[in-house]
Amino acid sequence: MSVLFPFHGGLKTVRHKIESNQGSILAGPLPRQLTVPLRQHIGAIAKPLVQAGDRVLKGQMIGQADGYISAAVHAPSSGMVTAVESRPVPHPSGLPDACVIIDTDGEERWIERQAVDYRRLHSSEVRGALRNAGVVGLGGAVFPSAVKLNPGGHDKPLDTLILNGAECEPWITCDDRLMRERAAGIVAGLHVMVHLLEPREVLIGIEDDKPDAAAAMTAACAGTGYQVRVVPTRYPSGSVKQLVHLLTGKEIPFDGLPADIGVQCFNVATAHAVHRAIDFGEPVLSRVVTVTGQVAQPGNVEVLLGTPFAALVELCGGYRDGVERLIMGGPMMGFALHDDGVPVTKATNCILAAGAEALPPEQPPMPCIRCGACVEVCPANLLPQQLYWHARAKEFDKAQDYHLFSCIECGCCSTVCPSHIPLVQFYRYAKNEIWAQEKEKQKAELARQRHQARLERLEREQKEREAKLRQKTPPRPVPAAKALEVDQLPIEAAVARARPERGAAPVDEPQPSVAVTADGAERDG
């Protein structure tokens, strides 16, 4: 057995995996209408390439990656674009975002697909292909994979490539099923990643509550040198920082990236998406989603992006009684949705229709008794009770002294708090307040800079005018009069301002005085 490096804290949570991991991955429905958000990734929103009335083919790019950190978006099925407009999307804010609405024609007509011979092409071309295929982290973070697959971006050589199959959140089993059923595809995608990054070792981390998945992956990795590491079931071992520590003993700096310590980490589903994109030329059009909780037939479904949650729940037999919250993601870090009309996106790994089984009765918060239960479970090794104290008192600088931004919002502290204080909510609040303050500061700084630049411009223009004036009247060497004239300018300006309607202010040079007038007015305002 290989050595593991346990991280501090963490929790043994309820599992609830058995509900959804028994059956194989089902094919999703083909809804009449797909709502495809143009922002399904971290970074700049994709630029729409279609408009209402356009016919699209399955796999056709409908949104183009805009900038380096961005990803393309594709039509998940063939049909007609009926609108490009703001629609509700699954986001904690509940705010709508730009979406392409496609009325499907049921024909599933594909674009021409072409495999990418990644061993022949230059690595930048391979990454470009991944970017154009819309490959992003499918573990939930949806960071554009092409960016992480660029070894040139970091001065440190890559020691370890980690594939994350931990799936530590309760209830979620989509990666479990994917590893069991499509291990070969995952390993094929891994080959592409290894080709691009050239790591010294490849480790695949899987929690020990998924023995079948671990066995399937071990079999698929035979002869490749990739090593499957079974890790103890302990939330949040699937968090990148914790998994990297667990497998390598290295800590990702709290203000840095995995690449800073020679590590890169991808989700197993991302590797599978890479495989489909490179070996088959298929962009990311669907993903495996766990539908579980209070639904009649929980399970995993391969769903077209843009499919409304409601259609997916219907496929799984509809809701059972007692659904109290609809959660996207797991119960520890997922967020509750207002409405099941929102579409599945690349970030949707699980839909949990949470009933009493998943949600213990809410209890009123009590004062913090400083018991330190939160300290014991914090995987970031923070002092949650101090963060809470300062966040509550709005002492945001103190909260930052206690490393507020190292908090990964895993929820362990809130879960164990005997006083039932919504700790994570306080940290989110503090972070948002600090970001808002930063923005204010930046705005003020920008305004100051603009004001400064304007003053300088005015001065420069004035000097230029003086120079011009001097050039125009070279034979009149009367410096005293000249000085007088300049001094008079503000006076004339004031006169002009006071009586603008007369329009006959006795000004020698109307242009500069108008400029000064406008400035004066602006400054007064």
Q: Under rule CB under 8 A, which residues in 328-387 are in contact with another protein?
A: 329, 331-340, 354, 358-364, 366-373, 375-376, 379-383, 385-386
Phi-psi region of 503 (alpha: psi -120 to 50; beta: other; left: phi over 0): left
Interaction of residue 425 with another protein, rule CB under 8 A: yes
CA angle 462, 465, 470 (to 5 degrees): 130
Q: Of the two residues 232 and 372, which places its CB atom closer to another protein in the complex?
A: 372
Could you give phi then psi for residue 68, rounded to 5 degrees?
A: -70, -50
Q: Which of 253, 267, 54 is nearest to 178 (CA)?
A: 267
Q: Of the two residues 179 and 407, which places its CB atom closer to another protein in the complex?
A: 407
Q: Of the two residues 325 and 465, which places its CB atom closer to another protein in the complex?
A: 325
Q: Of the two residues 139 and 512, which places its CB atom closer to another protein in the complex?
A: 139
Q: Could you tell me which residues come within 8 angstroms of residue 446 by beta carbon, excluding any fewer than 6 positions away?
A: none
- Footprint of another protein on residues 78-117 (CB under 8 A)? 92, 94
Edge-to-edge strand list for the sheet holding 325-328: 26-27, 299-304, 286-293, 350-354, 325-328, 335-337
Report d(CA 423, CA 412) in Å as an integer: 9
Burial 409-423 (b: 16+ CB within 10 A, else e): bbbbbbbbbebebbb
Interaction of residue 430 with another protein, rule CB under 8 A: no
Q: Of the two residues 160 and 513, which places its CB atom closer to another protein in the complex?
A: 160
Report d(CA 147, CA 127) in Å as an integer: 8
- Footprint of another protein on residues 16-75 (CB under 8 A)? none
Stretch that binds another protein, among 65-73, 101-109, 413-421, 433-441 (CB under 8 A): 413-421
Locate 307 and state its tokens. 């499919």
Report d(CA 524, CA 473) in Å as an integer: 34
Stretch that binds another protein, among 50-58, 108-116, 418-426, 480-488 (CB under 8 A): 418-426
Q: Of the two residues 252 and 391, which places its CB atom closer to another protein in the complex?
A: 252
Q: Of the two residues 137 and 384, which places its CB atom closer to another protein in the complex?
A: 384
Q: Of the two residues 399 and 424, which places its CB atom closer to another protein in the complex?
A: 424
Interaction of residue 511 with another protein, rule CB under 8 A: no
- Footprint of another protein on residues 126-145 (CB under 8 A)? none
Give how far the C-alpha of residue 430 lies from the chain's centroid of Cα atoms, to the nearest Å.
20
We find the least distance from the C-beta atom of residue 120 to another protein, in angstroms, to be 39
- Footprint of another protein on residues 432-461 (CB under 8 A)? none
Q: Which of 139, 88, 86, 49 is nearest to 308 (CA)?
A: 88
Q: Is the peptide bond before 236 cis (omega within 30 degrees of 0)?
A: yes
Interaction of residue 289 with another protein, rule CB under 8 A: no
Residue in 14, 356, 483, 491 binding another protein, rule: CB under 8 A: 14
Residues in binding contact with another protein, number by CB under 8 A = 76
Q: Could you tell me which residues come within 8 angstroms of residue 276 by beta carbon, excluding any fewer than 6 positions away?
A: 185, 189, 282, 284
Query: 47: how many CB neighbours lie within 10 A of its CB?
Result: 15
Query: 428: how many CB neighbours lie within 10 A of its CB?
Result: 15
Consecutive H or E run containing 291: strand 286-293
Stretch that binds another protein, among 123-131, 424-432, 464-472, 489-497 (CB under 8 A): 424-432
Residue in 10, 13, 220, 274 binding another protein, rule: CB under 8 A: 13
We find the least distance from the C-beta atom of residue 7 to another protein, in angstroms, to be 8
Task: Report the DSSP beta bridge partners of residue 36.
Answer: 100
Interaction of residue 422 with another protein, rule CB under 8 A: yes
Locate 196 and state its tokens. 């691009």
Residue in 4, 6, 8, 181 binding another protein, rule: CB under 8 A: 8
Q: Of the two residues 251 and 519, which places its CB atom closer to another protein in the complex?
A: 251
Q: Of the two residues 428 and 465, which places its CB atom closer to another protein in the complex?
A: 428
Interaction of residue 298 with another protein, rule CB under 8 A: no
We find the least distance from the C-beta atom of residue 363 to another protein, in angstroms, to be 6
Angle between helices 423-472 and 384-392 (to 10 degrees): 60
- Footprint of another protein on residues 145-204 (CB under 8 A)? 170
Interaction of residue 324 with another protein, rule CB under 8 A: yes
Stretch that binds another protein, among 52-60, 100-108, 414-422, 475-483 (CB under 8 A): 414-422
We find the least distance from the C-beta atom of residue 251 to another protein, in angstroms, to be 5
Q: Of the two residues 137 and 258, which places its CB atom closer to another protein in the complex?
A: 258
